Structure 1
Amino acid sequence: MVKRGWVVAVLALLGVLATGCTSDEPTGGGGNLPDGAALLRDASAATKQIKSAHFTLKVNGTVSAIPVQNAEGDLTREGGPSGAAKGTVKLTLLGQLIEGEFVLVDDSLYIKGPTGGFQKYPASLSSNIYDPSAILDPDKGIANVLGKVQNPRTDSKESLDGTSTYKVSGKATKDVVSAVVPGVNSDVDITVWVREDNKQPVKASVKLPSGEGQTATVDLTLSDVDKPVTITAP
């Protein structure tokens, strides 16, 4: 049961739209901001062309369906039918805080817990639970979510770690978001920061119910887009 829990948790983190990236105060705004729908159409098209990226994930608050607290790693659409990924994760499992490593390559999943080495799991296990290529999948991943945000509006122009972006907010249906955010059972508010120059997404934040009337956010940032990434089995 513990091993299976690890697999579910790690695959969940790979599917979640999320990551903690601090932003500067808004640097612009007003009536001269570009149309939100047009920005997200361009962002969706740009995301479909991304072959690799570094991701950082952070869950702010508690979401019962997502045991991950934070994660960081690299993703690539190469390295097997489902692409490849590697990184580190911190999660709560069976009431304990656990840190570990994961590698997904050649359609096999490897997980290293707090003790011992990597353990290999069959591809069928990961595909039955969740497809970790969802983040960069051009048809069901982030690109699909960006293209289906409802009533998008451009809120402001902001700088994220020195990158000029437009902040766009709207709503996304559970059917669209659940492909990349496990546990979503209702429509959600979503905010996306899109690069001003090439319209690639820099950050996405999804607001989820946290219980007892509270809300939590799952934040994902992408960086080092299309930087060469080599992932091999441990």
Structure 2
Amino acid sequence: MKRSKRFAIVAAVAAVAAAVALTGCSSDGNTDAPESDAAATTTLNAAADSAAALTGAAVVLDIEGSLQGVNASKVEADVATKPKVVGEGTATLTMGDKSVSAPFVYVDDHMYANVDDKGYLDYGDGRSIYDVSKILDADKGVPFVLRSIEGAKEDGTENIDGVETTKITGTVPAKDLSGLTGASPEAKGLDSTIPVTVWITKDGENNVARVLAQPAEGASMTITLSDWGKTVTAEKPADVKSPSVKPTTAPKSGEPTRQPVG
């Protein structure tokens, strides 16, 4: 056999061997994510379907620590998803050194909130307080997060507000939790994974009773759902004040730094 032909055969064999080696490495890389228990996966998928089908629920959001995308430390609301997303409740905000309770209404894609008893203002989509429309959103909210959980394991049963539930632990990619945390797509750390625990009712309805995640070091987000399927109605407040603006001249000591428009 001529030298050039032998060289071509050797090169071809080497190429095949390299391809096999690369394929093996790629396969190993795909197994980095921990496997989920079959029972846990079945329960999570059923719960995701139930959450996506919800027409309304009572929601309590609790934030411990500081999350960049969330300005509220607590939100208590009744939220409906169909025919349109509406909500009504109270957000607890930290303003300076005091905690402020702000009643709000979410209707027609706008959040109207009465912060510090100054009258209702239009806060747009509400992200500056908390975007309640995302909680039950099938593509960004609780249903989506349930389908994104990796390494899901059943961890016994617990009673949540008088309801027996199955507890499931796992992790979720940070980017898949950004719809609930309000994190910007450009935020740092979205390539990491986040510990998450969920509690699913054992009554056959597979409703989500609670979701607990740790989106940042020293911070946690807990979403508790109840009154699944409740009817919720909300109307725009009758007297919505105009937003405030900066004064045209520098305020003197003790004068407000914002002035009402109109």
TM range (shorter): 0.7 to 0.9
Q: What is the distance in 2 between the residues matched to 1:42 and 1:168? A: 13
> Among residues 39, 42, 46, which one is paired with 1:38 in the alignment?
42
Aligned-pair CA distance for 1:208 = 3.0
Max Rg structure: 2
Match of 1:217 in 2: 220
Aligned-pair CA distance for 1:66 = 2.9
Given that 1:174 and 1:188 are in contact with CA atoms closer than 8 Å, whether structure 2 keeps it comes out as: yes
Higher relative contact order (CA 8 A, sep 6+): 1
Q: Percent identity between the aligned chains?
A: 27
Question: Does 1:232 pair with 2:238?
Answer: no
Q: Which letter does structure 2 place at the counterpart of 1:62? A: S
Match of 2:206 in 1: 199
Cα 1:140–1:222 shift into 2, 3 Å: same
Q: What is the distance in 1 between the residues matched to 2:68 and 2:111? A: 24
Given that 1:154 and 1:166 are in contact with CA atoms closer than 8 Å, whether structure 2 keeps it comes out as: yes
Match of 1:187 in 2: 193
Match of 1:115 in 2: 117
Aligned-pair CA distance for 1:158 = 1.3
Q: What is the distance in 2 between the residues matched to 1:109 and 1:93? A: 19
Cα 1:188–1:52 shift into 2, 3 Å: same
Match of 1:92 in 2: 94
5+ residue gaps, structure 1 = 1-32
Match of 2:20 in 1: none
Cα 1:79–1:103 shift into 2, 3 Å: farther
* Structure 1 residues 158-178: Cα deviation after superposition (integer angstroms, max 9, x where no partner): 111221100001000012111
* Structure 1 residues 119-174: Cα deviation after superposition (integer angstroms, max 9, x where no partner): 234xxx42887864211112222111101101100011111122110000100001
Aligned-pair CA distance for 1:195 = 0.4
Aligned length: 193
- SS class of match (2:214): strand
Given that 2:127 and 2:182 are in contact with CA atoms closer than 8 Å, whether structure 1 keeps it comes out as: no
Given that 1:141 and 1:180 are in contact with CA atoms closer than 8 Å, whether structure 2 keeps it comes out as: yes
Given that 1:158 and 1:164 are in contact with CA atoms closer than 8 Å, whether structure 2 keeps it comes out as: yes
Given that 2:55 and 2:231 are in contact with CA atoms closer than 8 Å, whether structure 1 keeps it comes out as: no
5+ residue gaps, structure 2 = 1-36, 238-262
Match of 1:13 in 2: none
- SS class of match (2:125): helix
Given that 1:105 and 1:233 are in contact with CA atoms closer than 8 Å, whether structure 2 keeps it comes out as: yes
Q: What is the distance in 2 between the residues matched to 1:61 and 1:92? A: 12
The structure carrying a bigger helix percent of its residues is 2
Given that 2:87 and 2:232 are in contact with CA atoms closer than 8 Å, whether structure 1 keeps it comes out as: no
* Structure 1 residues 56-106: Cα deviation after superposition (integer angstroms, max 9, x where no partner): 1111233344332212011111364xx111111112134542221111112
Q: What is the distance in 2 between the residues matched to 1:127 and 1:54? A: 18
Q: What is the distance in 2 between the residues matched to 1:113 and 1:200? A: 33
Match of 1:67 in 2: 71
TM-score normalised by L of structure 2? 0.67
- SS class of match (2:48): helix
Q: Which letter does structure 2 place at the counterpart of 1:150? A: E
TM-score normalised by L of structure 1? 0.75
Q: What is the distance in 2 between the residues matched to 1:102 and 1:188? A: 30
